[in-house]
Chain A
């Protein structure tokens, strides 16, 4: 049976829980990527708890919508979402990045963690995979959607734009690329490292449908996902404007928290803020 939809209030609580999971997991691991995980949390919560058809008890259910995490480093957020949805035990979250854990530092398909669709971590590759999945589903006349989450810094990879061309060329209207636009990457501001703007115009020029929204406003996100459903003949890009480190005041909008784990003290502080 597909997972039941949560209400907006329930999703808000869920997002808080998942943010707490992310901070605890990276703190326990002593490394990882909390910044981007926290910026993508609401995007994933709205997808997994309100939008996508999927069944945590049957991860390989043939009728499921598909999700490809292209920005593999924010897997703490995905792992927490999958565990809270019931794909595996919440206790397992604290094995993140430990030897032989199914929760590798970047998603690994060969670890058989339920809910992981493909290995990722080398940036720029996931959108092509999503294109291929959408093409395969289209060939078989199946109705499912394919969602792909990319980072904004990740759009600097050339392969992304190859995939953007392919998605439009094959008119894959079931394909939805969500850009977690938090404006930061390891070296600093995306616009300083290598500017990717104007994003909307770029995707439109590549013949994509583009929707912009506040990536922390669940209502706007759900509206964007629903709008994407109605779009025909081209793929959709949802530019979700977000804040890196969202929800933990000292991490917010700080590039330094891209790939650094919080200390025990910082974790305790974050827990208070996310209570």
Chain B
């Protein structure tokens, strides 16, 4: 069974904008706050549709999160939008104390996730959000794999109670799901069945993982590919099942190697089903200016790297 559909490329931020507009249509309490970069995050799509429910806060991320918390206290469902580096890092304490500790219904949209942001360089390439968001009690963390899934995920977090963080990207990336692909928050989706090893990925690395699986198949290696779009709460069952049934795991993410999806998967496996694990991620370094594709290659975020990791993990079985 595979949910992969024909290849076309769309930026995940488009799915975010579409999701916001759909939420706005469904629920008059949905409001959106922007920190100056409204068209970059596609929050502008909501602003165009519902100008009375959009609030410009200026370049003031900490105040934006606090203001969102106040709006949530009056029954609104606020989404704050800015680049992921600032959405997660610049206002981390505000998210921790005011939003998460109060369990407020604030949603955080982190744009420009990952190295693929490109020429803006390290300051604008968010590579740490998964770790610093998932360590917060009460927080939900979602990293959808393509634009279609980003739309579904945006709607899903807007319709669940409590704090949530969603990561999406700037560049056009392959669309691997369609309207019929199942999506439930907290439930990993197996995009390809396999018995020799499992690749657990999120974001654009899901596509790369599927490419790797195709290449391994040519060598007679059967690879399971799991789209772990919800990093928290994590689908322990799917991870343990994959480890039990395939005996080896590769994780892949466009994020620092410490504390991200790989770390989250390892935390589950080390206690419930220890099997060899290899992690494909950015190896504890800052980004660079460059074209998205050349950066993905330089930082080891391609199906080739996943292939190498697969070979390594199979040798350790």
Interface residues of A (CB under 8 A from B): 66, 68, 108-110, 117-122, 124-137, 139-140, 158-159, 162-163, 165-166, 169-170
Are the CB atoms of B66 and A159 closer together than 8 Å?
Answer: yes
Q: Which of A120, A131, A140, A170 contacts B98 (CB 8 A)?
A: A120
Are the CB atoms of A118 and B65 closer together than 8 Å?
Answer: no
Q: Tell me the residues in window 39-60 of chain B with beta carbons closer than 8 Å to chain A beta carbons.
A: 52-53, 55, 57-58, 60
Q: Smallest distance from the beta carbon of A208 to chain B beta carbons, Å?
A: 15
Q: Tell me the residues in window 77-113 of chain B with beta carbons closer than 8 Å to chain A beta carbons.
A: 78, 93-94, 96-98, 101-104
Q: In the complex where A121-B97, A128-B69, A135-B55 touch, is A163 in contact with B63 (Cβ < 8 A)?
A: yes
Q: In the complex where A109-B101, A125-B98 touch, is A137 in contact with B74 (Cβ < 8 A)?
A: yes
B296 within 8 A of A: no
How many residues does chain B have at the interface if contact means C-beta atoms less than 8 Å apart?
A: 31
Q: Smallest distance from the beta carbon of A113 to chain B beta carbons, Å?
A: 12
Are the CB atoms of A131 and B67 closer together than 8 Å?
Answer: yes
Are the CB atoms of A129 and B75 closer together than 8 Å?
Answer: no
Interface residues of B (CB under 8 A from A): 31, 52-53, 55, 57-58, 60, 62-63, 65-76, 78, 93-94, 96-98, 101-104
Please indicate the chain B residues that have their CB under 8 angstroms from the CB of A158 in the complex.
62
Most chain B Cβ neighbours within 10 Å, of A66, A122, A129? A129
Q: Smallest distance from the beta carbon of B138 to chain A beta carbons, Å?
A: 8
Q: Which of B53, B58, B67, B102 contacts A128 (CB 8 A)?
A: B67
Are the CB atoms of A122 and B63 closer together than 8 Å?
Answer: no
Are the CB atoms of A128 and B97 closer together than 8 Å?
Answer: no
Are the CB atoms of B101 and A108 closer together than 8 Å?
Answer: yes
Inter-chain CA distance A51–B55, complex, in Å, is 30
Are the CB atoms of A166 and B71 closer together than 8 Å?
Answer: no
Inter-chain CA distance A134–B97, complex, in Å, is 20
Inter-chain CA distance A135–B72, complex, in Å, is 11
